[in-house]
Structure 1
Amino acid sequence: MQMKNVVTVLLTMCCCMAMGSRIYAQNPGDQYSLGFYHATGDSSGFHSSLRDYNVRPAWNLPPLGDSTKKRSWWHRKLFSEHLLEYNQPDYDFYADFLPDFQLGHSSVNSNTWLNTRGVIVGGRLGKNFHFYSEFYENQGKFPGYIDAFGRSTGVVPGQGEWKPYSGNKAFDFAYVSALLDYKPAKFLDLQLGYGKNFIGDGYRSMLLSDVAFNYPYFKIVATVGKIQYTTMWAQFIDRDYPKASYENGYRKKWGVFNYLDWNVSKKLSIGLFETIIWQDSDSSGKRGFDMSYLNPIMFLRPVEFSVGSPDNALIGLNLKYATGKNSSLYGQFILDEFKFKEVTAGNGWWGNKFGGQLGFRANDAFKVKDLNGLTEINFARPFTFSQRTTLNNYSHYGQPLTDPLGANFVEWVNVADYRYRRWFVRGEIMLAHYGLDSTGTNFGHDINKSYETRTLEYGNHIGQGVATNLLYVQGTFSYLLNPKNNLRIELGVAGRKESNDVMDKKELIFSIGLRASFRQLYYDF
C-alpha cells in the first residue's frame, strides 16, 4: 500500500471518529468496547485517567430469547451465568473456566494456533472487600513478528517468559494475576495485587501503561470529591541483566508512583505524575526497598536528590478536556531528563529526553448508539526511558512501561468499534515511524540499551538511525456468547508491513477462535 493511500485511509477514519467517546477503563480487554469510557469529569468522584482493576466487569446486554422462559443448567452456564455463582447479602462468589482456543494462518509463519486454559475465581466479603485471581496455562505458535520478538527477548508480549514446546516450534508459558481490594472508608481504597496498571485517557499511555507483564504492587487511592491521590509501590523484573545467582533468580528493581488527579470542572481534569525507579542491589550490595520513598505524600524528586542516589526520576502531566457530553480531547507529557540551556540551544542534545501524547475520542458517533472511535498521536525522543543500565530504566520483563515502541518514535493510532446486541466489530489502523539501530550503533530506540553506548552526542532527532515505517491494520468480528466472562466466537484478520532501506517485511494473519476473559494484550507493534 502506498503511503499516500495509507494517509487517505487514516484521514477518512479520523473524520468518522470525530463525531462523537467513552471507554470505561475497568479491565479493558482486546474485545472491550471503547464505549465503556466516561468522557466528562465531574464532582461525584469519578476519575477517568486511573484505570480501576478491582472489579471484574460483565457486558450489560439483554438476555437471549424469552427472559421469562426457564432455561436448562447448560443454557444458563453457557449464555448468561458464571460456571459457579453465589450471591448473598453478605458475600458473592464466582468461578469460571476461561478458554482461549484459536486457529489461524500467517503468511510468514504458516499455521498458527493458541491453546489456553484459564480459571478465574473472585467475589466479595461484606461491602468493602473484593478479591479475584486468574490463571492461564498456554501453548501457542504465533505469527512471524511475534515469534521473532519472543525468540529475541525470551518473553511473550505482555505475558512473561516462555519455554520451548513442540520441538521449539511453539511457546509454552503461564500467566497469573490476582488482587485483594479493601475500602476501609468511602474515600479510601487499598489494593494489594499482582497485575498491571494504567494511567491516562488514551489507548496508549506515556506515563504508565499495561503493555508489560504483571508485577506485584501495593496501591493506596484516596478520593475526595474532585481530587484523587494515588500512591503505588511496585517491584519489577530485569531479564536483560545476568542473574545474580540461580537461587535469587532475575535481578529486581523497585518503583514508587504518585499521581494526583483533579477534576477542575465538569469539562477539565488535570493529572500530575511522578515516579522513581531504583535497583534492588548495586555495587555496594543488597539495597532492597528504600525506606526514603515510604511516605505516600511527598515530592519524590527532591528526596531522590537529597540522598545523592543514582535513581531514575520521571515526572509527567495528564490532561483531559470534554468537548461534548460524549467526546473529549486528551494528552500527556512525560519528562525523563533535560537541561534548559540544551533545550533552548536546539542542538539535539541526547539528554533532552521526553515524550507526549495528543488524542481525541468520541462515542455514539453520528448519533449512532455504541459506535465509538479514538485517534491519538504518541511520541518519544531518542533515549527516553533508558538509563545507564536496565537495572533502573523504565521497563519490566524486557518491555517498556509505556508505549511498546519504546523511544525514538512517533505513531498514529486509530481505533473504532461498534456493538449491536451481541455482535461486535472492531478495527484499528496504526502508522508509526522510528529509527532502528544498525550493527554497533545506538540511536535511542531500544530503551534496554545503555545510553552510555549512544552514537550521537548532538543532532539527535526522532527517526534517526535506520529510518523505518510501520503499518498495522487489524479487524475483529465477534459474537458474544456469555457476557459474564466475555466468552465469544471471534474472527480476526491483521496486516503488518515494516519497511526501511534494508528490509521490507509483510505479514497477513487470519484467525478464528473461541475466546473468554477481559485481558488486554497488545500485539500492535
Structure 2
Amino acid sequence: MKHILHITAILLLLTTPTFAQEKLPVIAPYHAQNIRELYLDTANHHTALKTILHEDTSAMYTRPDTAKRSWFHRKLFKEHLFEFRNKEYNVFIDFLPDLQLGKSNRNKNLWLNTRGARVQANIGKGFYFETSFYENQGLFPVYLDSFVARRRVIPGQGEAKVSSIGKSYDYSYVNALLSYSPGKYLNFAVGYGTNFIGDGYRSLILSDIGFSYPYLKITGTLGQFQYTSMWTQFMDLSSQSFNQAYEGIGYPKKWGVFHYLDWNATKKLTVGVFDAIIWGDIDTAGRKRGFDWSYMNPIIFLRPSEFSVGSSDNAIIGLNAKYKVFPKTTVYGQFVLDEFKIKELLAGDKWWGNKWGAQLGFRSFDLFKVPRLDLQGELNMVRPYTYSFRNTLANYAHYNQSLAHPMGANVRELLGIASYTYKRWYFRGQLNYASYGLDPNKTVSYGGDIFKPYDQRVKDYDNTFGQGIKTDFLYGQGTVAFVLNPKYNLRLELSAAGRQEKNDLETRREFIFSFGLRSTFRQFYYDF
C-alpha cells in the first residue's frame, strides 16, 4: 500500500521534469512489436507467460539529437507527451487516440472514435505501475454487429450500449497493473486486465482475447524454473436461473485459480505445465458461495483440493512447449485437457467427454536473411464440448467471451501471419482458415458454443470435429502503417480485410476498408 501512496504523491507533485546526470533505466512491458527480441536472444527466456516486464535501457544508448527540435516535433515523433526522468523514478503520460474511418461492402460506413490516456511509472528497479482509460464510440462491420447483438459485448472491450448517433455503440473501459519485485527471484502483481499463456498467436490454455478482470499474480523464478500462481474474478453475463442472488448488485461472479510451471530444460527447449479451476460464486440452489479459500493452495495440480471439499468445479490442465530448431526459428505447441476417461479414450468411440485441444506452430525471424521480415504459422484443434460446463457459472469464459480460443470449441483452424518492418514503415498480412460446426437451434449443442450446457449434447458417442452445420471460415487482412512515434505506437494505418462464412444454408461475405490515426499497444481479435 505504501508504494501506491508513493506513486500517487509523485503524480500529484510533479509539474516540471527533474534532470539528473544518471537516469534510472525504464521498467516497461514487452509488446508484440518487440517481443521478437526474446526469441532471438541466445539465452532461453521464459516467454510463455505474458505480460513480461523488462528493464528498457535503449534510451541510454541512443545518440542524442543535436538538432534543435520544437516541442511539437519532439512530442509527435520522439517522446512521450509528458516525461519525468530521474535517478530514482520515471513517469510517462500519453494521450492515446484511435480514430478510424472505413467502409464495408454491406452498404455501411464505419468509424471509430477512441480517446485514451495512459500513465506508466517505475520507482527504482522493483516497482512498476501502469493504468490506462479509453472512451469509445464506434460503428462496426455487420459481422461484429451480429456478435455484439448475440453476446452484448464489444470483443475484448466489455459491454456496450447503443449510442444516440445512428446504430453505433458507446463503451469505455480501464486497465491497470501494479507490479513489485522485492528481488530478482520474486514478483507480485495486482492488476485489472488480461493474461496470456503460450508462445502462439492463439492460446488454448489462457488467452487475452476477452475483457479485463481483476487478478492477483505471484511469480517466482529460480534458476531454470519459473512458477506462477494467479487468482482471478470473472463475470457471468449469460446466467439466467441464478440471478436472484445478485439482484441489484451486478452480474453473477465466478472465480478462477491458475498455476503455471515453466522449465527451461536446455538452451533450446522449454516445457511448461498448467492447471486451472473455475467455480461459480453461487451454487445451483441460488446460495452465495463466494471465494473458496481451499484454492489458496499455491501448489500446482489442484484436483486433490477440489475433491477434498466435495466439489465438482471445472478443472483444466495443459502443457506448453517450445523448441528453437534454428537460431531464428522456434517451434511451439500446446495441449489442453478439459476432461477425459482413459477407458473411453482407448475405446476410440469418440465419447463426448474426451475434451481436449492441441496447437502446433512456428515463429521464424529475419526470413531469407531480410532483417525484420517475420513469419508465423499455426494449427489449432479443439474437440467438441471443450471449455463448456453444466452451466455458464463455471464454464471457461468471462464476460461472454472464451478464455481460450475465440471460436470456442468444435473447431480446426490454420493461420499464417507475415510482417515486415523497414525504418518506420510496418507491413502485416494475415490469413485464417477454419472449419467448425454450428448448432441448428438454441435447444441443442454440437459442442461449439461453450455457453450452452453440455447436457444439451445431441449424442454421447461418435462426436467429431466440425459436427453440426459444417461451416468453412476464411479471413484475410492486410495492413500498412507508418509509425509516427514508437514510444506509444502512434501511427497512420491503412487496412483491408475480407471475411467469408459458408455452409449449406448460406454464405456470408464482408469486405472492410479503413484508414486512421491509431495508437497504443492493445491487441484486439476480430478474426473470428
TM over 0.5: yes
Partner of 2:250 in structure 1? 249
The alpha-carbon deviation at position 384 of structure 1 amounts to 0.2
When residues 474 and 131 of structure 1 are mapped into structure 2, their CA distance, relative to the original with a 3 A threshold, is same
The alpha-carbon deviation at position 35 of structure 1 amounts to 3.4
Task: Read off the aligned partner of 1:232 and give its amino acid letter.
Answer: M
Partner of 2:434 in structure 1? 432
The alpha-carbon deviation at position 261 of structure 1 amounts to 0.3
Partner of 2:525 in structure 1? 522
| Structure 1 runs, 4 residues or longer, greater than 2 Å off | 25-29, 32-37, 39-43, 52-64, 242-247
Match 1:346 to one of 332, 345, 348? 348
RMSD between aligned residues: 2.1
Task: Read off the aligned partner of 1:52 and give its amino acid letter.
Answer: T
Contact 2:501 2:507 in 1 (8 A): yes
Partner of 2:330 in structure 1? 328
1-structure distance, mates of 2:458, 2:30: 41
Contact 1:435 1:464 in 2 (8 A): yes
2-structure distance, mates of 1:382, 1:82: 47
When residues 109 and 382 of structure 1 are mapped into structure 2, their CA distance, relative to the original with a 3 A threshold, is farther
When residues 57 and 517 of structure 1 are mapped into structure 2, their CA distance, relative to the original with a 3 A threshold, is farther
What are the within-5 Å matches in structure 2 for residues 258-269 of structure 1? Answer: 258-269=259-270
2-structure distance, mates of 1:60, 1:323: 32
Residues 459-490 of structure 1: per-residue CA shift (max 9 Å, x gap): 10000000000000000000000011000000
Q: Give the number of aligned pairs.
A: 496
When residues 354 and 124 of structure 1 are mapped into structure 2, their CA distance, relative to the original with a 3 A threshold, is same
The alpha-carbon deviation at position 57 of structure 1 amounts to 7.9
The alpha-carbon deviation at position 299 of structure 1 amounts to 2.5
Within the alignment, does 1:205 sit opposite 2:207 as a pair? no
Partner of 2:271 in structure 1? 270
When residues 138 and 62 of structure 1 are mapped into structure 2, their CA distance, relative to the original with a 3 A threshold, is farther
The alpha-carbon deviation at position 167 of structure 1 amounts to 5.1
Residues 378-403 of structure 1: per-residue CA shift (max 9 Å, x gap): 01000000000000000001111011
Task: Read off the aligned partner of 2:447 and give its amino acid letter.
Answer: G
Residues 4-28 of structure 1: per-residue CA shift (max 9 Å, x gap): xxxxxxxxxxxxxxxxxxxxx9554
2-structure distance, mates of 1:356, 1:423: 35
When residues 109 and 220 of structure 1 are mapped into structure 2, their CA distance, relative to the original with a 3 A threshold, is farther
Within the alignment, does 1:52 sit opposite 2:51 as a pair? yes
Partner of 2:469 in structure 1? 466
Match 2:121 to one of 120, 123, 142? 123
The alpha-carbon deviation at position 174 of structure 1 amounts to 0.6
Relative contact order, CA 8 A, sep 6+: which one is greater? 1
Match 2:75 to one of 70, 74, 77? 77
The alpha-carbon deviation at position 73 of structure 1 amounts to 0.5
1-structure distance, mates of 2:480, 2:325: 30
What are the within-5 Å matches in structure 2 for residues 284-295 of structure 1? Answer: 285-295=287-297
When residues 238 and 510 of structure 1 are mapped into structure 2, their CA distance, relative to the original with a 3 A threshold, is same
2-structure distance, mates of 1:53, 1:139: 31
Within the alignment, does 1:506 sit opposite 2:504 as a pair? no
2-structure distance, mates of 1:475, 1:393: 34
Match 2:478 to one of 467, 475, 478? 475
Partner of 1:304 in structure 2? 306
2-structure distance, mates of 1:479, 1:452: 51
Contact 1:58 1:486 in 2 (8 A): no
Match 1:236 to one of 224, 234, 237? 234
2-structure distance, mates of 1:205, 1:28: 16
Task: Read off the aligned partner of 1:522 and give its amino acid letter.
Answer: Y
When residues 359 and 36 of structure 1 are mapped into structure 2, their CA distance, relative to the original with a 3 A threshold, is same
The alpha-carbon deviation at position 288 of structure 1 amounts to 1.0
Partner of 1:18 in structure 2? none
Task: Read off the aligned partner of 2:445 and give its amino acid letter.
Answer: N
Partner of 2:171 in structure 1? 173
When residues 207 and 60 of structure 1 are mapped into structure 2, their CA distance, relative to the original with a 3 A threshold, is farther
2-structure distance, mates of 1:475, 1:27: 24
Partner of 1:157 in structure 2? 155
Match 2:214 to one of 199, 213, 216? 216
Q: Does the residue aligned with 2:356 lie in a helix, a strand or coil?
A: strand
Residues 193-226 of structure 1: per-residue CA shift (max 9 Å, x gap): 0001000010100100101111000000101121
Contact 2:256 2:279 in 1 (8 A): yes
2-structure distance, mates of 1:284, 1:387: 17
When residues 288 and 524 of structure 1 are mapped into structure 2, their CA distance, relative to the original with a 3 A threshold, is same
Task: Read off the aligned partner of 1:371 and give its amino acid letter.
Answer: L
Contact 2:260 2:300 in 1 (8 A): no
2-structure distance, mates of 1:273, 1:335: 10
Q: Does the residue aligned with 1:124 lie in a helix, a strand or coil?
A: strand
Residues 121-162 of structure 1: per-residue CA shift (max 9 Å, x gap): 110122211101000000000111111101111000010000
When residues 163 and 56 of structure 1 are mapped into structure 2, their CA distance, relative to the original with a 3 A threshold, is farther
2-structure distance, mates of 1:88, 1:331: 42
Contact 2:91 2:121 in 1 (8 A): yes
Deviates more, 1:299-308 or 1:404-413: 299-308
Residues 50-94 of structure 1: per-residue CA shift (max 9 Å, x gap): 112546989999999x93201111110100111110000111101
2-structure distance, mates of 1:56, 1:178: 19
1-structure distance, mates of 2:146, 2:289: 35
2-structure distance, mates of 1:148, 1:58: 45
Partner of 1:386 in structure 2? 388
Residues 201-258 of structure 1: per-residue CA shift (max 9 Å, x gap): 1010010010111100000010112100000000001000134444221001000000
The alpha-carbon deviation at position 95 of structure 1 amounts to 0.5
Deviates more, 1:214-223 or 1:279-288: 279-288
2-structure distance, mates of 1:55, 1:156: 31
2-structure distance, mates of 1:115, 1:37: 34
Contact 2:263 2:272 in 1 (8 A): yes
Residues 286-343 of structure 1: per-residue CA shift (max 9 Å, x gap): 2111110112124311111121102100000001111011111110000000111111
Contact 1:40 1:328 in 2 (8 A): no
Q: Does the residue aligned with 1:203 lie in a helix, a strand or coil?
A: coil
Partner of 2:370 in structure 1? 368
Contact 1:60 1:483 in 2 (8 A): no
Contact 1:28 1:520 in 2 (8 A): no
What are the within-5 Å matches in structure 2 for residues 398-417 of structure 1? Answer: 398-417=400-419
Q: Does the residue aligned with 2:208 lie in a helix, a strand or coil?
A: coil
2-structure distance, mates of 1:251, 1:466: 32
Partner of 1:16 in structure 2? none
When residues 34 and 427 of structure 1 are mapped into structure 2, their CA distance, relative to the original with a 3 A threshold, is farther
Task: Read off the aligned partner of 1:460 and give its amino acid letter.
Answer: N
